[in-house]
Structure 1
């Protein structure tokens, strides 16, 4: 994607009411896909993206537990993930 392109980031399944608008500031090939650098211009957009990112990590954690035979609600998985991993949640560039 060209630098300067505006993007809307959302996760309708995990957070249907959250979205953030950002601008591509760099794009590089990574394996079979691409990695994007996105600048957010409002604290609301940055907050929404950080919450969505955490939800993705929590859902991934929950999926791992399910494959190991444990069944947790998203809320229980969130509490457990926060206790175990939140303090190490990345803050790169923030």
Structure 2
């Protein structure tokens, strides 16, 4: 399981670097780390971008940042980010509770 991207923190930032090369097809017709079957159109090639579910999210309230979200999790990133946002915004959960 890939938990923290490339497992490298950019010096002086506190941010983990991603491992987007994992989002390219390495073996056509085979499942990747998340069980998704790899296709030819997503093969590694010059000037291509990998398919990705990355969804960095900034929610504003009264024109100011209220909530900043992102998530690891491959194909689950979008649903994890949405569920966390809904738990905080609609159900009033704390950030730690919203991820449980």
TM over 0.5, yes or no?
Answer: no
**Structure with the higher helix share, 1 or 2:** 1
**Structure with the higher strand share, 1 or 2:** 1
Q: Which of 1 and 2 has greater Rg?
A: 2
Structure 2 length as normaliser, TM-score?
0.30
Structure 1 length as normaliser, TM-score?
0.32
